[in-house]
């Protein structure tokens, strides 16, 4: 099983998760060209992709869907409400809506030899989900665009081998930055985005001996930067109420414009 971030940030997101036989993308919020280049870097092409898991309908998660789907006739998985928004999105152009495959939170489904476990998240979208993907004894997850976390989210992120977790903003940068007040309230609200501090606090609840890789993702271009996210999350782990220190784990920041390292499990 492999996992790699092709792009992750407030401007566009696309994560690859796959096995030897099944190749999935979580979101397609960047250009088809960049997706193709990312796939090529790991020895794949668009025609190798088995399907696309969509977390929600915001443009930084779907803007490459139309071209990708038209070119490769790929199934698109998401909640019914998300898929309705995608079907109505004129900027994606025309594509075969028969490829839209509705899923439900907390109802597992199979794509090839991968088991996909969607679960609910709180974000200002119609019915967003995060995804846990399993192959045999291995499990990875992509969990971004969450205004907050609770025990339900914690339970779905247990015993992972790798995770890409949102570390969207630094609260002080956001509060003192140029965003209008309503947008600051949205981001800081329960249906907004996870801060660096809250990413670290969430990790304190899911760390375990076999967690091989932590990617911090979906960073805001205006209200965060990689070094700050990295150091803040590490500090939360080191000062948190858990038996681990940050140095016990491989932690890195997924870039908005560069591929991450490939995690092989």
Residue 105: φ, ψ to 5°? -55, 140
β-pair partners for 37: none
End-to-end CA distance of the chain: 5
Q: What was the pLDDT predicted at 115?
A: 98
Q: What does pLDDT average to over the chain?
A: 97
Could you tell me the two tokens for 243? 């038996």
At residue 156, the 3 state secondary structure works out as: helix
Q: Give buried/exposed letters for 33-47 (b at 16+ CB in 10 A, else e).
A: ebbbebbeeeebebe
Note the Cα 34 to chain centre separation in Å: 17
Q: What was the pLDDT predicted at 265?
A: 97
Q: State mean pLDDT over 129-141.
A: 98
β-pair partners for 5: 15
- Please, what are the domains in the chain? 2-264 (3.60.15.10)
DSSP state of 246: G
Q: What was the pLDDT predicted at 40?
A: 98
Q: State mean pLDDT over 90-107.
A: 95
Distances 21 to 38, 39, 141, 194 between C-alpha atoms, Å: 18, 15, 19, 33
Per-residue pLDDT tens over the stretch 17-41: 999 999 999 999 999 999 999 999 9
Q: How many other C-beta atoms can be found within 10 angstroms of the C-beta atom of residue 150?
A: 11
Q: State mean pLDDT over 40-55.
A: 97
How far is the C-alpha of 123 from the C-alpha of 153, rounded, in Å? 13
Per-residue pLDDT tens over the stretch 111-120: 999 999 999 9
Whether the Cβ atoms of residue 131 and residue 116 lie closer than 8 Å to each other:
yes
Q: What was the pLDDT predicted at 12?
A: 97
Q: What was the pLDDT predicted at 114?
A: 98
Q: What was the pLDDT predicted at 140?
A: 99
To the question of pTM greater than 0.85 for the whole model, the response is yes
How far is the C-alpha of 70 from the C-alpha of 74, rounded, in Å? 8
Q: What was the pLDDT predicted at 42?
A: 98
Closest CA to 219 of 34, 7, 30, 32: 7
Q: What was the pLDDT predicted at 151?
A: 98
Split at pLDDT 50, 70, 90, the class of 143 is very high
Note the Cα 59 to chain centre separation in Å: 14
Q: What was the pLDDT predicted at 16?
A: 98
Whether the Cβ atoms of residue 140 and residue 160 lie closer than 8 Å to each other:
yes
Per-residue pLDDT tens over the stretch 186-240: 999 999 999 999 999 999 999 999 999 999 999 999 999 999 999 999 999 999 9
Q: Which residues contact 93 (CB under 8 A, 6 or more apart)?
A: 66, 67, 70
Angle at 161 (CA atoms; ends 32, 156), nearest 5 degrees: 85
Q: State mean pLDDT over 56-82.
A: 96
Task: Map tokens 């990295």 to a residue.
Answer: 230
How far is the C-alpha of 55 from the C-alpha of 118, rounded, in Å? 9
């Amino acid at each position: 099983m492999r996992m790699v971030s092709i792009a992750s940030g407030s401007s566009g997101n696309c994560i690859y998760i796959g096995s030897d036989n099944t190749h999935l993308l979580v979101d397609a919020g960047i250009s088809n060209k960049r997706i193709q280049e990312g796939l090529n870097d790991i020895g794949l092409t668009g025609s190798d992709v088995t399907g696309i898991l969509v977390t929600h309908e915001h443009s930084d998660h779907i803007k490459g869907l139309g071209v990708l789907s038209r070119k490769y006739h790929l199934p698109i998985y998401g909640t019914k409400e998300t898929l309705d928004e995608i079907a109505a999105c004129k900027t994606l152009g025309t594509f075969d809506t028969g490829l839209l495959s509705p899923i439900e939170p907390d109802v597992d489904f199979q794509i090839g030899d991968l088991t996909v476990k969607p679960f609910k998240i709180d974000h200002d979208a119609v019915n967003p989900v995060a995804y846990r993907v399993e192959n045999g004894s291995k499990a990875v997850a992509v969990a971004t665009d969450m205004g907050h976390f609770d025990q339900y989210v914690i339970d779905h992120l247990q015993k992972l081998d790798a995770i890409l977790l949102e570390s969207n903003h630094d609260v002080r940068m956001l509060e003192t930055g140029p965003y209008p007040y309503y947008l600051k309230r949205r981001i800081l609200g329960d249906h907004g985005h996870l801060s660096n501090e809250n990413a670290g606090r969430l990790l304190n609840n899911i760390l375990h001996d076999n967690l091989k890789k932590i990617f911090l993702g979906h960073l805001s271009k205006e209200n965060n930067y990689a070094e700050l996210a990295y150091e803040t999350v590490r500090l939360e782990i080191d000062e948190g109420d858990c038996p681990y220190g940050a140095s016990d784990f491989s932690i890195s920041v997924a870039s908005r414009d560069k591929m991450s390292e490939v995690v092989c499990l």
